[in-house]
Amino acid sequence: METRTLIIGAGLTGLSTAARLRAAGLPVCLLEGSAHVGGQIRTFRKDGFVFETGPNTGTIASPEVAELFELLGLQPEIASPAAANRLIWKGRSLHPLPRNLQEAIGTPLFSFRDKIRILGEPFRARGTEPDETVGAMTRRRLGCSFADYAVDPFLGGIYAGDPDRLVTRFALPKLYQLEQQYGSFIRGAISKARAPRSERDRKASRQVFSIEGGLGRLIDALTDYIGRENILTESSVQHIRQSDTHTYSLTYADASGEEHTLSCRHVVSTAAAHLVPSLIESLVTEDLSSLAQLQYAPMIEVAIGFRHVDASHLPAFGALIPSRENRRILGILFPSDCFRGRAPEGGTLYTIFMGGVRHAYLWDCTDEEIRTIALEELYDMLRIPASSVPDLLHISRHRHAIPQYYADTEQRLDTIRRLEHKHAGLHLGGNMSGGIGMAHRITQGAEIAKRIIVDVAGSASSVR
């Protein structure tokens, strides 16, 4: 019996799935269209700076993340205490985002009226609209200034998205559940913090991590664990066909364009949603427009490093910009405040995020225009002298950076469920469902692997 699993895409989802399968002793082969393993995750080193061109940090938000580190024997680098400070731009300066009720009452970010409103949050009625957006929900529970100066910049940082289109139960399911289960964010957060947790659940935390030397080291560790020989790069999958009930055949083109076919019992796609219909069109008859139409926010990431710079800001994770403030960037991360070795001794590294749903027009700017905007915004916001010259400036672009979980999400999830049910052994993963962050990707990989392991074990025992 064929037990090998073929995985389309060697990003974090595909690699996490493969690592779990390898841990269970099952054969895997990953097919990656590009020349690089890691998908959106990539670390570069230049002139003493270590910078990311995709995600900068993850959170140990689920036990699966901690378990992956255990499996790989890899130590995450936990961000320094400075990472607890998140700054928000308002007026002409940066203000710390409140971390508790007391700070929320004192901050200039929220209006006096909304501070009173926050105190009344535990007593406000539960929402009844299942597809309520994050913007509408937070305005209803906490007031406009909280939505504008906490939620909007937060969603700009995570989703590069629009709070008035992102639906809470898909985009921030934990927040949605707090209201549904406990009737209030504040009461829910307190109850959850007090609830007993299993030993496994205690592995999860809010800790922000990278890896010493950058997130690329996580990809290296995954590659070593899975075995480089099991990852085919420059191998772009063209289509999946079903040979019989239990066998799929998968055709891919290698770097020279030559086509090859492999067969398997389980196939896992981790490709972005708009790429999936062409992969499975010969397999299915259903309407796949709900996958094809998933909107992705474009993002431009600019790493800027200085050997020495005069900048004025509190050491922090970074600064986020509310859309009301009408600046041309979404936010700035301060990686060298949080992790060791990101800049040469005495130097500073910044990462600027631009684009997103709100500023999608920036995608068409030339690199020179992006460079000018990034430096103007950075210098103005951090009061860096105009005469300063960066020692590093690197621009990276992601056309399909972050999927936007709008009101059409239920329809897409339904399509995925139906396809997986109808075609046993077909697994449609990736960030079109299950969350957009690294922790979500690792968790989804573990879940897919578990389904495969259970199926293979079941088939083996029925053969015996």
Ligand X SMILES: Cc1cc2nc3c(=O)[nH]c(=O)nc-3n(C[C@H](O)[C@H](O)[C@H](O)COP(=O)(O)OP(=O)(O)OC[C@H]3O[C@@H](n4cnc5c(N)ncnc54)[C@H](O)[C@@H]3O)c2cc1C
What is the C-alpha to C-alpha distance for residues 29 and 324, in angstroms, rounded to an integer? 47
Shortest distance (Å) from residue 315 CB to ligand X: 19
Q: Which CB, 33 or 344, lies closer to ligand X?
A: 33
**Phi, psi dihedral angles at 304 (to 5 degrees):** -130, 125
Task: Report residue 93 CA to chain centroid gap.
Answer: 28
AA identity, residue 407: A
Q: Do residues 312 and 327 make contact, with C-beta atoms less than 8 angstroms apart?
A: no
Q: Which CB, 317 or 379, lies closer to ligand X?
A: 317
What is the C-alpha to C-alpha distance for residues 95 and 380, in angstroms, rounded to an integer? 15
Q: Which CB, 9 or 163, lies closer to ligand X?
A: 9
Shortest distance (Å) from residue 272 CB to ligand X: 6
Task: Report residue 111 CA to chain centroid gap.
Answer: 31
List helix spans (H) across 73-111.
101-106
What is the C-alpha to C-alpha distance for residues 397 and 303, in angstroms, rounded to an integer? 12
Shortest distance (Å) from residue 252 CB to ligand X: 7
Burial class (CB in 10 A: 0-12, 13-18, 19+), 202: exposed
Token pair listed for 302: 């600019």
Shortest distance (Å) from residue 51 CB to ligand X: 12
User: End-to-end distance of the chain based on CA atoms, in angstroms?
Assistant: 12
Shortest distance (Å) from residue 217 CB to ligand X: 15
**Phi, psi dihedral angles at 128 (to 5 degrees):** -120, -5
Q: Do residues 8 and 17 make contact, with C-beta atoms less than 8 angstroms apart?
A: no
Shortest distance (Å) from residue 139 CB to ligand X: 26
Q: Which CB, 425 or 437, lies closer to ligand X?
A: 437
Using CB under 6 A as the criterion, which residues of the chain lie in contact with ligand X when the complex forms?
A: 8-14, 31-34, 39-41, 54-58, 236-237, 270-271, 275, 279, 299, 301, 398, 401-402, 430-431, 436-438, 441
Q: Which CB, 188 or 298, lies closer to ligand X?
A: 298
Q: Which CB, 157 or 188, lies closer to ligand X?
A: 157
Shortest distance (Å) from residue 287 CB to ligand X: 21
Cβ neighbors of 188 (< 8 A, separation 6 or more) are 177, 178, 179, 181, 182
Q: Which CB, 348 or 431, lies closer to ligand X?
A: 431
